[in-house]
């Protein structure tokens, strides 16, 4: 059966996460239903990362098997026609080898966390960023983030329900930048690694917000990491600020 890689973007609050569930709408279920309109199925698509409810994606990647050969452009167009009006779209499609796997062949993943600092409620970015009512010190947050880069035991910064066999991960990049966005000052946290633990980025973002607000010194991030205890973590940042930006492959199937 021919296999296809699909690059997807979606608006997180419309779904109860990526993974198929009984009842609530999910991205996986929506994509599998669209595939079933083109091919009898049943279909089971796998993704580079299982995003939680409310989390967005700009570059999620999944793979699917079909019974007949499709021109990738026509397959993307047909899927988008059947996905409407849901806020999910196939932005790229490519034929891949039968053994290619969206999750296991990924050599890197990148996330963005957005925080908008202003007292007024968000309008255009509502549901797309975390709104905090106070200014944040981006330089202090960057200093705190530097303590987490590298290979560490991230027990403090993973969900209690995380099913990963090991809490050890190599965080390749954790950068904090400040920008003057159209709705006010915006903090952007960029994270990149081969793989992440459940809720790792949101846990880190919530702790960095405490640093930016002046409630924690930057060194507290190192102390929290060394504690290897979930109780040492700051508040979990809300899902609407988190964006799955990209999954990286070598070679890139969409190149």
Q: Give the catalytic positions in this structure.
A: 52
DSSP for residue 236: P
Instruction: Quote the tokens at residue 193.
Output: 């690694």
Maximum CA pair distance of the chain?
A: 58
Question: Smallest Cα–Cα separation from 118: which of 184, 216, 47, 199?
Answer: 184
DSSP for residue 38: H
For residue 185, give every residue at least 6 positions away whose Cβ sits within 8 Å of its Cβ, in sequence order, or none.
116, 117, 118, 135, 136, 178, 179
| Cα–Cα distance for residue pair 69/115, rounded to 1 Å | 44
Asked whether 28 and 20 are in contact (CB, 8 A), the reply is yes
Phi–psi pair at 193, nearest 5 degrees: -160, 170
Instruction: Quote the tokens at residue 196.
Output: 């992440």
């Amino acid at each position: 059966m021919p296999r296809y890689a699909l690059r997807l973007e979606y608006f997180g609050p419309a779904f109860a996460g990526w993974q198929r569930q009984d009842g609530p709408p999910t991205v996986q279920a929506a994509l599998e239903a669209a595939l079933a309109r083109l091919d009898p199925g049943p279909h089971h698509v796998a993704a580079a990362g299982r995003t939680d409810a409310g989390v967005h994606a700009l570059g999620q990647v999944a793979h699917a098997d079909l019974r007949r050969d499709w021109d990738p452009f026509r397959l993307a167009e047909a899927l988008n026609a059947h996905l409407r009006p849901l806020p999910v779209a196939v932005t790229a499609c490519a034929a891949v080898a039968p053994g290619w796997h969206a999750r296991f062949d990924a050599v890197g993943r990148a996330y963005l966390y957005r925080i908008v600092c202003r007292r007024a409620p968000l309008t255009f970015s509502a549901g797309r960023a975390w709104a905090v009512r106070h200014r944040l010190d981006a330089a202090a947050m960057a200093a705190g983030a530097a303590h987490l880069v590298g290979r560490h035991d991230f027990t403090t910064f993973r969900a209690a329900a995380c099913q990963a066999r090991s809490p050890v991960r190599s965080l390749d990049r954790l950068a904090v930048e400040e920008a003057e966005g159209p709705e006010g000052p915006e903090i952007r946290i960029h994270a990149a690694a081969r793989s992440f633990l459940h809720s790792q980025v949101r846990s880190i973002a919530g702790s960095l917000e405490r640093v930016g607000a002046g409630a924690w010194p930057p060194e507290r991030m190192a102390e929290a990491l060394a504690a290897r205890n979930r109780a040492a973590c700051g508040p979990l940042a809300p899902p609407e600020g988190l964006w799955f930006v990209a999954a990286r492959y070598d070679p890139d199937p969409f190149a």
